Chain A
Amino acid sequence: MCLSIPSKVVKISEDKTTCIVDTMGVQREANLMMMAEDEVKVGDYVLLHIGFVMNKIDEKEALASIETYKEILELMDEEERRQVILDDDACENRLKS
């Protein structure tokens, strides 16, 4: 019910009351009544809920989250690699040879 769809603004109507948004290839009209005047611009990412733009997606914050996830994955990979080496070092057969 409270779901909304991340979309990209592709056009704003002349009277600035509506805009056209693109949602992964599907274009539709969205009402801008919930937003301050001139707050939304072409190229902005927005959340769309029952025909209305409900807010702008903060691009910087989205990128920061994605960056954090990348770093976590790299850290995990590194930890895994280190664990493989430690396991290898501890291998009895190897110590014997």
Chain B
Amino acid sequence: MKSLELKNLYDDFRDGKTIKAYAKLIKQEAKKIERNINIMEVCGGHTHTIMKYGLPQLMPSNVKFIHGPGCPVCIMPKHRIDHAYILAMQEDVILVTLGDMIKVPGSKGSLQDARSKGADVRFVYSPMECVKIAKENPNKKVIFFAIGFETTTPMTAALIDFVIKQNIKNIFFHINHVTVPEVMEELINSRDEHIDSYNNQIDAFLGPSHVSVIAGAKIYEKFPRVYKRPVVVSGFEPVDVMEGVLMVLKQFNEGRCEVEIQYKRAVTYEGNIKAQKMIEHYFEKASLFKWRGLGNVPNSGWRLKKEFSHLDAEVIYKDVLPIEEIEDHKLCICGDILRGMAHPTECTIFGTACKPNSPVGSCMVSSEGACAAYYKYGNLL
């Protein structure tokens, strides 16, 4: 091929023939492995691709996907969604957040419900839209409810940077950014209460695509070294996922255990250093962040550094924001699903009491959650 065209970046990585060819290669490789290999795709983007393209059907019987916790909307605990709801209901506040948050229910309802009760909630495509909203509403406080993994965190930092440098007085932040390696570690270390043993379901990881664009493949370095789990950082297109799976299997057959990058066109070992510096400048790690479905995960969340607390809505509004955590629903087995110990269809409320329009558990909340993906594409299985 002479030169790259934009359509190549879409079409060639979704090509059905190539997907089938990889299915064949995966079968050949899996035959040489005399055991089951469970591969966790950490990221919700991968889960969505895997289900949309029916990739589980193309896997040999000894290769299975475990759907991980990589959907930042799904894992948001109810008490933090309540924060967004309460902030939105304050008289002089415009609450701004990304569109993904619209329908996510807290204990008081969703932000869509808050809006129907008169709250000024704006769903934006980019955090920078806050600047325009703040200028048009000088008498209001604009609070950006920030969500997302490493991919999205630097964009919040960029807005903070802009607000400080331009001396904008009416933009504030509620930070809910979380990080991936810490939760991967938590999943490996978590104990299975049913059989009283450590969770050994995950044999390897498909590393997230765009988290790794920012943070670099270096963040997975400890998984092969400390936990003996290979990590292959893969792109989000179906051909990327298939190639990533083949690379994982080859590691097992060749007696290797390392971090590899399949998504070389976008991911480097070091990542985007400028973006990483921007995160480190404004944020510090919170000792605990509660993940919906998983509970507290040490060092997995960011918060604003103390010197920027004058921008921190959690500090400014601490008198009205509840700190009590809300337990997950008793019948919900999202925690087990995220740990790879149960399948969405094993849940008694899957598709009955728990549906995409009225989600009970975290995995049904957004289209990137495992249960929502099974609900939408499950008839293919």
Contact with A along B23-45 (1 / 0, CB 8 A): 01100000000000000000111
The answer to whether B239 touches A69, judged by C-beta atoms less than 8 angstroms apart, is yes
The answer to whether B214 touches A54, judged by C-beta atoms less than 8 angstroms apart, is yes
Which residues of A are found within 8 Å of B154, using beta-carbon distances?
Answer: 34, 52, 54
The answer to whether A6 touches B128, judged by C-beta atoms less than 8 angstroms apart, is no
Which residues of B are found within 8 Å of A66, using beta-carbon distances?
Answer: 1, 8, 12
User: Which stretch from B13-21, B189-197, B370-378 is at the chain A interface?
Assistant: B13-21
Known: A45-B9, A49-B151. A35 touches B274 (CB 8 A): yes
Known: A2-B148, A49-B151, A54-B210. A72 touches B18 (CB 8 A): yes
CA distance in complex: A47, B268 (Å): 14
The answer to whether A76 touches B6, judged by C-beta atoms less than 8 angstroms apart, is no
Closest CB pairs A-B (n = 3): A51-B126, A62-B265, A6-B9
A67 to chain B, nearest CB (A): 7
Interface size on B, residues (CB 8 A): 59
Which residues of A are found within 8 Å of B239, using beta-carbon distances?
Answer: 69
CA distance in complex: A49, B126 (Å): 8
The answer to whether B210 touches A4, judged by C-beta atoms less than 8 angstroms apart, is yes
Q: Which of A4, A57, A66, A73 has the most CB of B within 10 A?
A: A66
CA distance in complex: A12, B282 (Å): 28
B126 to chain A, nearest CB (A): 3
Known: A51-B155, A73-B21. A2 touches B126 (CB 8 A): no
A32 to chain B, nearest CB (A): 10
CA distance in complex: A3, B45 (Å): 7
Which residues of A are found within 8 Å of B44, using beta-carbon distances?
Answer: 1-2
A31 to chain B, nearest CB (A): 6
**Interface flag for B344 (CB, 8 Å):** no
**Interface flag for A84 (CB, 8 Å):** no
**Interface flag for B4 (CB, 8 Å):** yes
B174 to chain A, nearest CB (A): 17
The answer to whether A65 touches B73, judged by C-beta atoms less than 8 angstroms apart, is no
**Interface flag for B366 (CB, 8 Å):** yes
Name the one of A2, A51, A55, A59 contacting B4, with C-beta atoms under 8 angstroms: A59
Known: A1-B148, A4-B210, A49-B152. A31 touches B8 (CB 8 A): no
**Interface flag for B236 (CB, 8 Å):** yes
The answer to whether B8 touches A22, judged by C-beta atoms less than 8 angstroms apart, is no
CA distance in complex: A24, B6 (Å): 7
Contact with B along A16-60 (1 / 0, CB 8 A): 000000111000000101111000000001010111101101110
**Interface flag for B302 (CB, 8 Å):** no
Which residues of B are found within 8 Å of A34, using beta-carbon distances?
Answer: 154-155, 158, 272, 274-275, 278
